């Protein structure tokens, strides 16, 4: 009895068809059929019923199937242990990134490049999406971990996180806006944004969730006039007087250089947070766990970043 025989048997059962199983395994159909018949001869029992249009599993095959899967998992476990001991990591790591996060403060690209240089056998997939969809992908196992914008101060059930950016949100306005009367750096209550056209990130992003909650706490529903995926475009809309842009805190002098005024928001004070987030039971693969630990160690703490983009 060989590993490949058990593997072929399991795949044929899952596909209920020798042709599809051969395509999935990238092998010839006769070769797969021959190996499974040899397995049946060794066991002295028929595992598959080939008489119908689809391949079905016999009673004996149904009883054998859990043990076959367990044997394959045990074999893979041995390989994983060897990889851990020898350090010859390999595998595939899937990472999510909220749009606009890869800034100088969060130099994700450099961390990934250094890790890849050390472990060239590991394939890394990186994609951008909204925080809402990435949370769902973490739960489903489509992502190993992600950098997401937080709406709630506490992690979602079943997830853990490490905050890497924590910054107040500000109202960014054109100089002629009545809210600018207090001058640069002044603070206004959230209630001052009632009935004002707001410019912000799309629904599903962490920043948008924070804004919606802050407006609700101040007793009103936000009037969203424009949505855009990047803070730079939000600022461009604000400078033309199209509304009040709600953004993460800008570096000193940035608003003035763009011809804008930046005002602090209070009562309540909304904060934008980005966090490295993963399932609480941890990534499944050794490769993903190793890269997660690297990112946890090398990404900045909240106190070390200012004026970050979301």
Q: Quick one: pLDDT at residue 258?
A: 82
Q: Domains (ranges, CATH) in the chain?
A: 3-86 (1.10.10.10), 91-163+275-304 (3.40.190.10), 165-272 (3.40.190.290)
Interatomic CA distance for residues 96 and 141, integer angstroms? 12
The H or E element containing residue 35 is helix 29-43
Q: Does residue 268 have a cis bond before it (omega within 30 degrees)?
A: yes
Q: Quick one: pLDDT at residue 65?
A: 92
**Residue 266 forms beta bridges with which residues?**
189
Cβ 309 vs Cβ 231: under 8 Å: yes
Please state, in angstroms and as integers, the Cα–Cα distance from residue 265 to each residue in 9, 155, 169, 196, 198, following that order. Answer: 63, 24, 7, 14, 14
Q: What is the pLDDT of residues 198-231, one digit of tens each?
A: 999 998 888 999 999 999 999 999 999 999 887 7
Banded pLDDT at 309 (limits 50, 70, 90): very low
Q: What is the pLDDT of residues 126-183, one digit of tens each?
A: 999 989 999 999 999 999 999 999 988 777 899 999 999 999 999 999 988 888 876 6
Nearest to 280, CA basis, from 103, 109, 145: 145
Q: What is the pLDDT of residues 257-304, one digit of tens each?
A: 888 889 999 999 999 999 999 999 878 788 899 999 999 999 987 754
Mean pLDDT, the chain, as a whole number?
A: 87
């Amino acid at each position: 009895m060989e590993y490949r025989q058990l593997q072929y048997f399991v795949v044929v059962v899952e596909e209920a068809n020798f042709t599809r199983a051969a395509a999935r395994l990238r092998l010839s159909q006769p070769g797969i059929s021959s190996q499974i018949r040899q397995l049946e001869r060794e066991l002295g029992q028929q595992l598959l019923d080939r008489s119908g249009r689809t391949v079905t599993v016999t009673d004996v095959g149904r009883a054998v199937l859990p043990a076959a899967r367990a044997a394959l998992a045990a074999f893979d476990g041995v390989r994983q242990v060897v990889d851990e001991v020898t350090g010859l990591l390999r595998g595939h790591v899937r990472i999510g990134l909220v749009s606009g996060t890869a800034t100088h403060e969060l130099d994700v690209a450099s961390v990934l490049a250094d890790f890849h240089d050390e472990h060239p056998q590991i394939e890394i997939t990186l994609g951008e999406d909204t925080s809402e969809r990435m949370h769902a992908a973490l739960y489903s196992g489509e992502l190993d971990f992600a950098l997401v914008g937080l709406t709630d101060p506490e992690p979602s059930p079943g997830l853990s996180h490490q905050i890497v950016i924590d910054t107040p949100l500000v109202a960014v306005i054109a100089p002629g806006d009545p809210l600018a009367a207090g001058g640069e750096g002044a603070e206004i209550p959230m209630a001052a944004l009632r009935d004002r056209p707001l410019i912000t990130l799309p629904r599903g992003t962490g920043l948008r969730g924070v804004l919606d909650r802050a407006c609700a706490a101040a007793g009103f529903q936000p009037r969203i006039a424009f949505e855009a995926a990047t803070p730079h475009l939000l600022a461009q809309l604000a400078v033309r007087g199209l509304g009040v842009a709600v953004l993460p805190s800008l570096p000193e002098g940035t608003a003035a250089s763009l011809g804008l005024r930046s005002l602090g928001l209070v009562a309540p004070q909304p904060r934008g947070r980005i966090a490295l987030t993963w399932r609480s039971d941890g990534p499944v693969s050794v490769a993903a766990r190793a890269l997660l630990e690297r990112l946890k160690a090398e990404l900045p703490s909240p106190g070390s970043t200012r004026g970050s983009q979301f």
